[in-house]
Structure 1
Amino acid sequence: MGNINPSYLHIGSTVGAVFMALMVIFIRLKASERPVTIRKIWIPPLGMSTGFAMFVAPQVRFPLWWAAIAFVIGWFIFAYPLIRSTTFEQREGEVYAQRSKSFAFILLGLLLVRTLLHEFINQYVSVPQSGGIFFILAFGMIVHWRLFMYKRYNVLVHSKKTPSTT
């Protein structure tokens, strides 16, 4: 009774990833209607960081260099499309994220790449280990993206408006 079929874990993780991607798309589209704050920028990676608790379980653990590679891939490759599609604008003295028509397609594309990589990696590691690897990859991606957002937000908030010449 304690054993779970690995194929069920694989199906569950894929369905969970699709659900999360759709939720992120929905939340991001709604978020463009409200001002951006520092709290809204940093809460997602802080909340996600609780996922590191999964490494308490021995079956999830893997070599540290695997984690470093996954983090670097997330940081440099997977974050790039999100960074390119994220822009801010100032309206009525507040900063808003501009809606990007490509954002939903980028997230779905990242999900497709993640699923294909997952299929490949599952041939060499267990399902819990691949879950841990992809968690670290996603964490690297979101931290880099949010750091970019934070820097861009600060530039907009602290920029002095130049007086217009008439």
Structure 2
Amino acid sequence: MNLALASTVVAIGMATMAMFVRMKAAKKPATAMKIIMPPIGMSTGSLMYIVPEFRLTGMEIVEAVILGMLFSILLIKTSSFEVKDQQIYVKRSKAFFFILIGLLIVRLAMKLILSATIDFGELSGMFFLLAFSMILPWRIAMYRDFKKLQKQITLTKQSA
């Protein structure tokens, strides 16, 4: 149970950090690199699957990926950009923070319930995959929207 408690504290810390990073990021122009780096950086965590304790069954993989993709819809719907002075910024959304907190609560509740029946290593692997499956589609959608705005800005500059 100590591992479950420690991972819960880490999850709360990471969610808090994500909120502060998001607030800070909204003050600076967005770049393609800032959008694509989180899933690339996070992908290194997949090395955990080298250790047999973290490996998942096919059904666990499917469950984690589907749930992560469903959660990503909320993040995609609450993320948008705005153009200021020919630069692209992430638009602040109050709903984003409530959704992030809600997703954290749902994940923590799921972890508490599932930790009684699923081994800690497998559960860790599932929640990593869930988080990655949530972040990847969200960042792909953000990148696509960013590129559309970037193209509009370029066309506007050319026609002026």
TMscore range, shorter length: over 0.9
Structure 2 residue corresponding to 1:106, chosen from 93, 99, 111 = 99
Per-residue CA deviations over 1:4-42 (Å, capped at 9, x if unaligned) read xxx110000100000000000000000000111110001
2:18 and 2:134 map into 1 onto residues whose CA distance is: 14
1:12 and 1:128 map into 2 onto residues whose CA distance is: 13
TM-score w.r.t. the length of structure 1 is 0.90
Identity of aligned pairs, percent? 38
Per-residue CA deviations over 1:87-142 (Å, capped at 9, x if unaligned) read 10111111100111122111110000001111122122111111110100000000
Query: For residues 1-166 of structure 1, what are the structure 2 equivalents within 5 Å?
Result: 7-75=1-69, 77-159=70-152, 160-161=155-156
2:98 and 2:81 map into 1 onto residues whose CA distance is: 19
1:15 and 1:128 map into 2 onto residues whose CA distance is: 17
SS in 2 for 1:88: strand
Per-residue CA deviations over 1:49-107 (Å, capped at 9, x if unaligned) read 011011111111121331122112101x1111111111101111111001111221111
2:156 and 2:106 map into 1 onto residues whose CA distance is: 42
2:73 and 2:137 map into 1 onto residues whose CA distance is: 9
Which sections of structure 1, spanning at least 5 residues, go unmatched? 1-6
> RMSD between aligned alpha carbons?
1.5
2:95 and 2:56 map into 1 onto residues whose CA distance is: 35
| Larger CA deviation: 61-70 vs 132-141 | 61-70
1:10 and 1:123 map into 2 onto residues whose CA distance is: 10
1:31 and 1:18 map into 2 onto residues whose CA distance is: 20
